[in-house]
Amino acid sequence: MKHKLFAIVNDIILPEALNTLERIATPILFSSKDIAYPSLAGHIDVFLFQHNRSVIVAPNIPSHYLSLFDKYNIEYTFGKTPITQNSCTPYNVATNGSIAIHNFKHTDSVVMNNIKHLKHINCTQAYSRCSTLLLENAAITSDKSIEKALKQSNINTLYVTQKDIILPGHAMGCFGGCCGVVDNNVVINGSLAHHSQGDDIRQFITLNGYNIIELSSTPLLDVGSIFFINSK
């Protein structure tokens, strides 16, 4: 198989968004049962950590996806920590080329070894990846503790409210969980027109050198991030 781009995303993604996503990459629709909280069952950022071309998966990720990864020549390594309803955060680490953000008391040891060369920014929020969109030299977060930690490290940071983000089973969702990054494109699951800070978000992303691809005309839906992964 030739080198190919895949997008792993929650299977609750709306048809309009999925149709748009298919123009960018081949989707792999993710779900699980009786492992994480039901509201997080399709959140790939609970079960998988990605940094550059490194992919680390929870040892109890549904085996169906391992078969798909093998079929599609997606390389992966197993983490040490299984996901349970009481432990959904070991792989939910936000990274870019230089920093890693997490509550490091909860980080899987294999992930920790993978990010040891990055600057570690500790925060109280262990759902760091779903709370944060990390760009090359900036960040958008919907979590105040992450905003504080990033600004203390002199990272250009925009805080945005959660109240305009949908997360089924919860009162509101997280901004990072609506997003994925591929090349210099920020892919957003929904339309910024429905977020009260949509214009600010759009300006912040574009001023930092990224294009914006909105997958649908509907409100922002937290699907547990969109991971873009290349086959080998």
pLDDT of residue 3: 60
pLDDT digits (tens, 9 = 90+) for 36-89: 999 999 999 999 999 988 999 999 999 999 999 999 999 999 999 999 999 999
pLDDT digits (tens, 9 = 90+) for 165-208: 999 999 999 999 999 999 999 999 999 999 999 999 999 999 99
Helix (H, G, I), strand (E, B) or coil at 131: helix
pLDDT of residue 196: 98
Phi, psi of 111 (to 5 degrees): -65, -45
pLDDT of residue 1: 40
CB 90 within 8 A of CB 81: yes
pLDDT of residue 86: 93
Q: Is the dihedral of CA 2, 135, 19, 91 positive or negative?
A: positive
pLDDT of residue 232: 83
